[in-house]
């Protein structure tokens, strides 16, 4: 019974959280307090793990909550529940788009949607960039300008930027190569401060 319940709860979360993985968080808090399946502190732990493992964060969270409540079958039911509404909605949208593919108004809308979409990605990238390169919390407690910048991160950022853009033989490498390289640098130079 708990499996059906998990599927249904995550089906609703998938249906009502618009705009990406982190939008599922408030729903998870309320689910925990309504059912007593997990505590708020557990949600924080699950989020930390979901952010430090590959895969979309929302999917990772659903898998984790499902596993905590009912083992492997729970993780599968919760995850399938989360993605079912998107699959249904997207299949409908894709069919509609196909029908209106050569409609000039749909074309005109997408003509402007593309720069808007690029703008949204830029804004998301910017907020990550600030977090990665600057330490505003440390700066506001010490007030020293040298504390504002994470120098090791800035150096790694510059190295990776040059490698991916200006070193020709490296430009064609798969992005995962640079991610692995950065992970090793992170461990060697203790970028996480741990």
Partner 1 sequence: MPLLLDLFCTFFRIGAFTFGGGYAMLPMLQRELVEKKKWVTEEEILDYFAIGQCTPGVIAVNTATFVGCRKAKAAGGILATLGVIAPSLIIITVIAAVLSNFAEIPAVRNAFAGIRVAVCVLIINSVVKLLKKSVVDKLTGIVFVVVAVCAIVFRNVSPVVFVLAAGVLGIVTRVFVQGRKEGQQ
Complex with partner 1: residue 4 or 183, whichever CB lies closer: 183
CB of 31 to partner 1, least distance (A): 16
Q: How far is the CB of 114 from partner 1 (least distance, A)?
A: 4
Stretch that binds partner 1, among 1-9, 28-36, 63-71, 137-145 (CB under 8 A): 63-71
CA pseudo-torsion sign 155, 147, 179, 164: negative
Residues 11-50, interacting with partner 1 (CB under 8 A): 14-22, 24, 45, 48-50
Distance set, CA 48 to CA 13, 29, 121 (Å):
20, 15, 23
Report the C-alpha gap between 95 and 61 in whole angstroms: 30
Binding test (CB under 8 A) with partner 1, winner from 35, 53, 140, 142: 53
- Which of 3, 29, 67, 147 contacts partner 1 by CB under 8 A? 67
User: In whole angstroms, what is the distance from residue 38 CA to residue 31 CA?
Assistant: 9
Q: Tell me how far apart the alpha carbons of residues 173 and 123 are, in angstroms, rounded to a whole number.
A: 26
Tell me which of 33, 40, 86, 140 binds partner 1, using CB under 8 A.
Answer: 86
State which residue, 8 or 126, has the beta carbon closest to partner 1.
Answer: 126
For residue 95 the two structure tokens come to 């069919």
């Amino acid at each position: 019974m708990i499996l059906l319940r998990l599927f249904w709860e995550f089906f609703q979360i998938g249906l009502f959280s618009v705009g990406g993985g982190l939008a599922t968080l408030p729903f998870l808090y309320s689910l925990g307090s309504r059912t007593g399946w997990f505590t708020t502190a557990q949600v924080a732990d699950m989020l930390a793990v979901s952010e430090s493992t590959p895969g979309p964060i929302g999917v990772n969270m659903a898998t984790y909550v499902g596993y905590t409540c009912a083992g492997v079958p729970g993780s599968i039911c919760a995850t399938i529940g989360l993605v079912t509404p998107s699959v249904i909605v997207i299949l409908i949208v894709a069919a509609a788009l196909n029908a209106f593919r050569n409609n000039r108004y749909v074309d005109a809308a997408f003509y402007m949607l593309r720069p808007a979409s690029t703008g949204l990605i830029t804004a998301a990238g910017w907020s990550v960039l600030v977090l990665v390169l600057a330490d505003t919390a440390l700066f506001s407690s010490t007030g020293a300008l040298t504390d504002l910048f994470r120098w090791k991160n800035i150096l790694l950022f510059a190295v990776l930027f040059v490698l991916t853009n200006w070193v020709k033989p490296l430009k064609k490498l798969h992005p995962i190569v640079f991610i692995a390289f950065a992970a090793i640098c992170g461990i060697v130079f203790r970028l996480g401060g741990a």
